[in-house]
Amino acid sequence: MIRDITIGQYYPADSVIHKLDPRVKLFGVVIYVISLFTFRGIWGFLLVTLALAAMIKISKVPFRFMVKGLKAIVIILIITAMFNLFLTPGETLVTIWKIKITKEGLKSAVFMAIRLIYLILGTSTLTLTTTPNQLTDGMEKAFRPLNHIHVPVHEVAMMISIALRFIPILVEETDKIMKAQIARGADFESGNLIKKAKAMVPLLVPLFISAFRRANDLALAMEARCYNGGAGRTKMKPLKYQKADHISYLVILGYLVIVILMRVLL
Amino acid sequence: MSIILDKVNYVYSEKTAYEVHALKDINLKIEDGEFIGIIGHTGSGKSTLIQHLNGLVKATSGGIYYNGRDIYDEDFNMKELRGKVGLVFQYPEHQLFETTIFADVCFGPLNQGLSKKEAELQAFTALRSVGLPEEYWYQSPFELSGGQKRRVAIAGVLAMKPEVLVLDEPTAGLDPQGRDEILDQVAKMHKELGMTIILVSHSMEDVAKYVDRLIVMNHGSVMFDGTPKEVFHHYQELEAVGLAAPQVTYLMHELRKKGIPVDGEATTIEEAKASILKCFQNRENRS
């Protein structure tokens, strides 16, 4: 029933991007997002589109699969576009009653919508090609210098990876509980808001109980294996840069240079 | 009165990397008042199959008919079907949520639109028929033992007065005594209320002892369908797919190999005992 959530889901495939070091991918996504929110004009838009298309093509993840993730942001998308459309002052195009649509508003609404869609597509390329564990490993290593100013990098990374690890489990559990309650005649769909909220109780109580039980079990299992934080902990698969990673860094930096040049020159 | 499955297919996560063909061309006819066991190793499609029976999962292709009516018809009342085909899931933890056991058992009948009084009456009958002692009824369901929770979960479905009761591994994780109590209770309901029972199980002993008809699932297809005796006759094929016959059947086969003329088809301890005693008697008579 709710298996269709794709945000944060890994899609196994044999591609260059799948094999890259997570740090490279993180860096790439950061640069991509920066370029996404700084580009101006049609040329900048083309460049970003090209970069995104290349990324998706190389990742070998079916485009259909990525688009599914967009469903979740449709409402945010519409609201943002509306605000931009109606509330930007400038040269009036159309006037409906008291609402004015301006040329600038139309332009910024379209670009905002594109930016949001590209943001989701780009970041989901990262999560679709990187397992949650790789991702947190990458983050832990990339942010390690923060340890010197007493940021608990390892602990945060561990918390994130546990949280990510539990999303599919809890989704599956929710599905099972829903089925068990529907089998007893529960109705999660019809009725007004208050009725719907009330209908959630038979779902949430078992879900919370099970989440607490799982957290408790996990803590015990970790303690039983002498887990005591990050100090002195080694990795089974330490991250090491390969040739492909160095090349990718060069490609990303090249992209960054082009983006800056375009921004300055055009 | 019957449930008919006609060429039912089900595919999980169609057209993605995770695609699984969970059910392949299932044809089954389940008659009124049958006591059916379904066995199969993990991932053979048992759970998916039973979730089709009350419309929780919609078949990718094929049809399901309840008392001659297509359950995928536009105007078919799915909610009513879920009252008629009661499905008890494996983990009672997935359905218990109320503050007291009694209130939890009332949840089903209240959803069916019954008045509070009628619902309480049905909950009362249901809790009686699963044999849960009355002193527990107003306690929190979370404080019960595993076996008692199972009973409450079964009562929660029974209170909806289903015609067909489907139990997904009701004995998993229970001790031998708890297991026997639950299954005896189910057998009693089958006999006294004339309910159709479908029991999904991992235990060959359990199904051999209780059911009249046994369906073996393997890789999403029905591998065998017959009486337990007929099915366990193929014990070598069952082993090849990771299943087995009851322990006592092996014992009887060993005895036959040694030249003792016992009944090799015995599947329950009672039958084996009778057959072995008969052998002794014959021998005494001869000498």
Of A11, A179, A210, the CB nearest to B17: A11
pLDDT at A1: 40
Q: How far apart are CA A183 and CA A189, in angstroms?
A: 14
**Per-residue pLDDT reduced to its tens digit, B20-40:** 888 989 999 999 989 999 998
Evaluate whether B202 touches B39 at the Cβ level (below 8 Å). Answer: yes
- Verify that A124 and A137 share a domain, yes or no: no
| String of DSSP letters for B20-36 | EEEEEEEEEEEETT-EE
- Verify that A2 and A68 share a domain, yes or no: yes
- Verify that A153 and A227 share a domain, yes or no: yes
Q: How far apart are CA B44 and CA B241, in angstroms?
A: 10
| String of DSSP letters for B132-197 | --GGGTTS-GGGS-HHHHHHHHHHHHHTT--SEEEEESTTTT--HHHHHHHHHHHHHHHHHH--EE
**Which residues form the domain of A195?**
132-233
Q: Which two tokens stand for residue B270?
A: 């009672």
Distance from CA of A207 to the nearest CA of B (A): 8
Indicate the angle between helix axes A243-265 and A22-38, nearest 10 degrees: 10
Evaluate whether B221 touches B189 at the Cβ level (below 8 Å). Answer: no
Nearest by Cα to B165 from B43, B82, B224, B55 = B82
Half-sphere exposure of B209 (CA within 13 A, CB side): 16
Q: Does A89 touch chain B (CB under 8 A)?
A: no
**Per-residue pLDDT reduced to its tens digit, B171-224:** 887 888 888 888 998 998 899 888 999 999 888 888 888 999 999 999 889 999
Phi first, then psi: what are they for B222, rounded to 5°?
-80, 120
Of B13, B89, B142, the CB nearest to A180: B89
- Verify that A116 and A186 share a domain, yes or no: no
Q: What SS3 state is found at B69?
A: strand
- Verify that A207 and A247 share a domain, yes or no: no
Helices (H), chain A: 16-19, 22-38, 41-59, 63-68, 74-87, 103-129, 132-142, 153-183, 193-199, 201-224, 243-265
CA A170 to chain centre: 18
Q: Which two tokens stand for residue A109?
A: 């609404």
What contacts B244, CB < 8 A, 6 or more positions away? B204, B235, B238
Of B54, B56, B96, the CB nearest to A206: B96
Record: contact A177-B96, CB cut-off 8 A: no
pLDDT at A247: 93
Q: Provide the 10 A C-beta neighbour count for residue A220.
A: 10
- Verify that A95 and A1 share a domain, yes or no: yes
Q: How far apart are CA B196 and CA B2, in angstroms?
A: 10
- Verify that A151 and A117 share a domain, yes or no: no
Evaluate whether A69 touches A84 at the Cβ level (below 8 Å). Answer: no
- In chain A, residues with a C-beta closer than 8 Å to the C-beta of B94 are 173, 176-177, 180, 206, 210
Instruction: Using CA atoms of A65, A67, A73, A75 in order, give the dihedral in degrees to the nearest 10.
Output: -130
Q: Which two tokens stand for residue B201?
A: 């199980």
Q: Does A198 touch chain B (CB under 8 A)?
A: no
What contacts A117, CB < 8 A, 6 or more positions away? A70, A77
Distance from CA of B161 to the nearest CA of A (A): 11
Burial class (CB in 10 A: 0-12, 13-18, 19+), A2: exposed
- Verify that A208 and A112 share a domain, yes or no: no
What are the CA-CA distances from residue B119 to residues A100, A188, B24, B46, B125 (Å)?
58, 20, 39, 31, 10
CA angle B27, B32, B37 (to 5 degrees): 60
- In terms of pLDDT, which residue wins out, B66 or A234? B66
- Verify that A11 and A37 share a domain, yes or no: yes
Record: contact B111-A65, CB cut-off 8 A: no
Q: Which two tokens stand for residue B200?
A: 């999904």
Given the cut 0.90, state whether the ipTM is greater than it: no
Domain residue spans in chain B? 246-287
pLDDT at A41: 80
Distance from CA of A17 to the nearest CA of B (A): 17
Q: What SS3 state is found at A184?
A: coil
Q: Which two tokens stand for residue A162?
A: 């546990």
What contacts A208, CB < 8 A, 6 or more positions away? none
What are the CA-CA distances from residue A259 to residues A33, A44, A114 (Å)?
12, 8, 17
Record: contact B16-A182, CB cut-off 8 A: no
* Residues in chain A where the model's pLDDT stays below 50: 1-4, 6
Q: Does B17 touch chain A (CB under 8 A)?
A: yes
Average pLDDT, chain B: 88
Q: Provide the 10 A C-beta neighbour count for residue B53.
A: 23
| Strands B196-200 and B35-39, bridge-based pairing | parallel
Structurally, chain A folds into a number of domains equal to 2
Q: Which two tokens stand for residue A60?
A: 């070998």
**Per-residue pLDDT reduced to its tens digit, B134-185:** 999 999 998 888 888 999 999 999 999 999 999 998 888 788 888 888 899 8
Q: How far apart are CA A17 and CA B45, in angstroms?
A: 35
Residues facing B23 on adjacent strands: B10
The count of residues in chain A is 266
Residues 142-171 in B contacting A (C-alpha not used; CB under 8 Å): 142, 156-157, 160
pLDDT at A8: 57
pLDDT at B17: 66
- Verify that A110 and A124 share a domain, yes or no: yes
Q: How far apart are CA B57 and CA A176, in angstroms?
A: 12
Indicate the angle between helix axes A22-38 and A41-59, nearest 10 degrees: 160
First-to-final CA distance of chain A:
49
Q: How far apart are CA B25 and CA B41, in angstroms?
A: 19
- In chain B, residues with a C-beta closer than 8 Å to the C-beta of A3 are 13
Average pLDDT over every residue of B248-264: 84
Nearest by Cα to A204 from A167, A186, A178 = A178
pLDDT at B120: 93
- Lowest average pLDDT, out of B10-19, B72-81, B274-283, goes to B10-19
| Strands B2-12 and B20-31, bridge-based pairing | antiparallel
pTM: 0.74
- Verify that A229 and A138 share a domain, yes or no: yes
Q: Provide the 10 A C-beta neighbour count for residue A249.
A: 17
Q: How far apart are CA B118 and CA B101, in angstroms?
A: 17
What are the CA-CA distances from residue A239 to residues A90, B134, B208 (Å)?
52, 61, 54
Q: Does A176 touch chain B (CB under 8 A)?
A: yes
CA angle B142, B125, B174 (to 5 degrees): 40
Nearest by Cα to B87 from B196, B221, B174 = B196
